[in-house]
Amino acid sequence: MSPVSGPWPPVPVEPPEIHPKAPAPGTELGAHFAECFGCGDEVDDGLHLRSAIGEGYTVHSKFTVTSAHQGAPGLAHGGLLACAFDEALGSTVGNLLHRPAVTGKLETDFRRPVPVGSTLYIEARLDGVAGRKIYVSADGHLDAADGPVAVNARAVFIAVGFEHFSTHGDPQALEKLAEQHRRNKREWDINP
């Protein structure tokens, strides 16, 4: 079975334009929202993904699998692995392009089991942009940045206005996020 289901990106794309205020390679990113299941510190059984900007404007993330993340006994649940990639890929779009966007499509190839206690090293990249569609992909290596590949993922994020979050989300939580970003002096304004 081929891990690749077709050409990627599937349509002609423009090269991504890295935002002039994107964090420099080596920058640790921290949580983008304390209540985020993927990266937030306030979610006890969340994934607690930790990410940093890599060379060539990639994003490198680490996800350590705990017993809270099991599907089969002792093994990571595939849906939670997909969640880790959603987070890593979304972080890549948000931090490198400074463009609010949501996941439109997320595809994963699970190539090796990921045991509880192991750490997935995820390297994510921007593959191209076609209008509002932002194409990204990532590889997840087991227990080391150059470990065997356990998961591949690719996704289409769709750029949205900030009103997407204020209209469909929780305005109070959005304000909390805005306050957090003001406190951390982030370079983008998340107010709608």
Ligand X SMILES: CCCCCCCC/C=C\CCCCCCCC(=O)SCCNC(=O)CCNC(=O)[C@H](O)C(C)(C)COP(=O)(O)OP(=O)(O)OC[C@H]1O[C@@H](n2cnc3c(N)ncnc32)[C@H](O)[C@@H]1OP(=O)(O)O
Touching ligand X, residues 13-32 (CB under 6 A)? 32
Task: State the Cα–Cα distance between residues 92 and 132, nearest whole angstrom.
Answer: 16
User: Which CB sits closer to ligand X, 116 or 188?
Assistant: 188
104 forms part of the interface with ligand X (CB under 6 A): yes
Task: State the Cα–Cα distance between residues 160 and 165, nearest whole angstrom.
Answer: 9
Establish whether the linkage from the previous residue to 9 is cis, with ω within 30° of 0: yes
Task: State the Cα–Cα distance between residues 159 and 180, nearest whole angstrom.
Answer: 22
Touching ligand X, residues 137-166 (CB under 6 A)? 156, 158, 160, 165
Task: State the Cα–Cα distance between residues 60 and 122, nearest whole angstrom.
Answer: 6
CA dihedral 46, 153, 138, 125 (to 10 degrees): -110
Name 126's bridge partners.
136
Binding region for ligand X (CB under 6 A) out of 1-9, 18-26, 92-100, 145-153? 92-100
182 forms part of the interface with ligand X (CB under 6 A): no
User: Which CB sits closer to ligand X, 111 or 176?
Assistant: 176
Q: What is the size of the binding site for ligand X (CB under 6 A)? A: 22
User: Which CB sits closer to ligand X, 136 or 142?
Assistant: 136
Phi/psi-derived region of residue 26, left when phi > 0, alpha when psi is between -120 and 50, beta in every other case: left
User: Which CB sits closer to ligand X, 64 or 166?
Assistant: 166
132 forms part of the interface with ligand X (CB under 6 A): yes
Q: Which amino acid is present at 17?
A: E
User: Which CB sits closer to ligand X, 85 or 121?
Assistant: 85
**Positions in the binding site for ligand X (CB under 6 A):** 32, 38, 86-87, 90-91, 94-95, 100, 102-105, 131-133, 156, 158, 160, 165, 188, 190
